[in-house]
Amino acid sequence: MTLNTKNDILAGVDIESIVKKSLRASLPKGVDLQAEAYVAEPKHYNQVSELVSQKTKQAHSELYKIAVDAMNKTSAELDTAVRADANSNHSQFRSLKLDETYNLNSVWLHELYFANCFDPNSEIYMDSMAYLRLQRDFGTFDDWQKDFIACATSVGEGWAVCGYNIFLRKYVNTVISHHSGDVMLGLYPIVVVDMWSHSYYRDYLSDKKSYIIAQMKEINWNVVEDRLRKSESIAEVLK
């Protein structure tokens, strides 16, 4: 006799529906499940750089996984949050929505950063779209670099970001405080660098400028180029 595997036993069974029905039955009267819940799995990124220590790389990975777990937990709790009790002073729903933005941004910013940095073979060509667009919108490519470095050194705990702004219709550099503060509306990120103190202090102490220069030496311009082409498509649609 052949034993069924777990997958065989559960084939065709709508587990999510069963779980939601079970939860719904246990909820107080007037509380219902929403269709907000989502679940993410942490991705693996090779931080091959020699410009930051292994301990720093490990800290990056651990904090990223914490953010993914927090995002999943927030999503699940939002599914049963009482909308009728929501208010701007104090409510479970308000707190969860703030946590949602904070943790979603943390996950996405980490993933964008991991993908566009840590390339020891970093190269950018003067005829590439990335070079030409940044030159166009900042005067020279060198001016873009100086402006990006200025953003990175001026942010506290947070992120330096270059992206296409759909309202300004050009590429800009900006800062994000923590994960969800000072976020510029209408921005599609193409370059993201982690400027939280855990990302540089162990290796560079308070010398943020040396850290950001090291990071920019290892930008994966192939990844940036792909993002830039997507931003160009967005710009075309919004014309």
Instruction: Print pLDDT tens along the chain (239 aa).
Output: 333 333 444 455 554 554 445 444 544 444 444 555 788 999 999 999 999 999 999 999 999 999 999 999 999 999 999 999 999 999 999 999 999 999 999 999 999 999 999 999 999 999 999 999 999 999 999 999 999 999 999 999 999 999 999 999 999 999 999 999 999 999 999 999 999 999 999 999 999 999 999 999 999 999 999 999 999 999 999 98
Decide if 233 is inside a domain: yes
Locate 90 and state its tokens: 């104090």
**Could you tell me the CATH number of the domain that includes residue 180?**
3.55.40.20
Of 81, 117, 113, 121, the residue nearest 97 (C-alpha):
81
What is the rounded CA–CA span in Å between residue 184 and residue 79? 28
What is the rounded CA–CA span in Å between residue 119 and residue 151? 21
| Total domains present in the chain | 1
What is the rounded CA–CA span in Å between residue 193 and residue 24? 42
Decide if 160 is inside a domain: yes
Locate 233 and state its tokens: 């498509």
Q: Which domain holds residue 178?
A: 129-237
Walk across the sheet containing 158-165 and list its strands: 170-177, 158-165, 187-194
**What is the residue type of 69?**
D
Decide if 217 is inside a domain: yes
| Residue where the block lists tokens 């200025």 | 150
Decide if 15 is inside a domain: no
Decide if 224 is inside a domain: yes
Decide if 162 is inside a domain: yes
Decide if 177 is inside a domain: yes
**Number of other CB atoms surrounding residue 234 within 10 Å:** 13
Bridge partners of 133, per DSSP, are none
Bridge partners of 160, per DSSP, are 175, 193
Which of the 8 DSSP states describes residue 32?
-
What pLDDT shows up at residue 145?
98
Distances 36 to 27, 29, 77, 90, 147 between C-alpha atoms, Å? 17, 20, 10, 21, 39
Provide the terminal-to-terminal Cα distance of the chain, rounded to the nearest Å.
Answer: 65
Decide if 61 is inside a domain: no
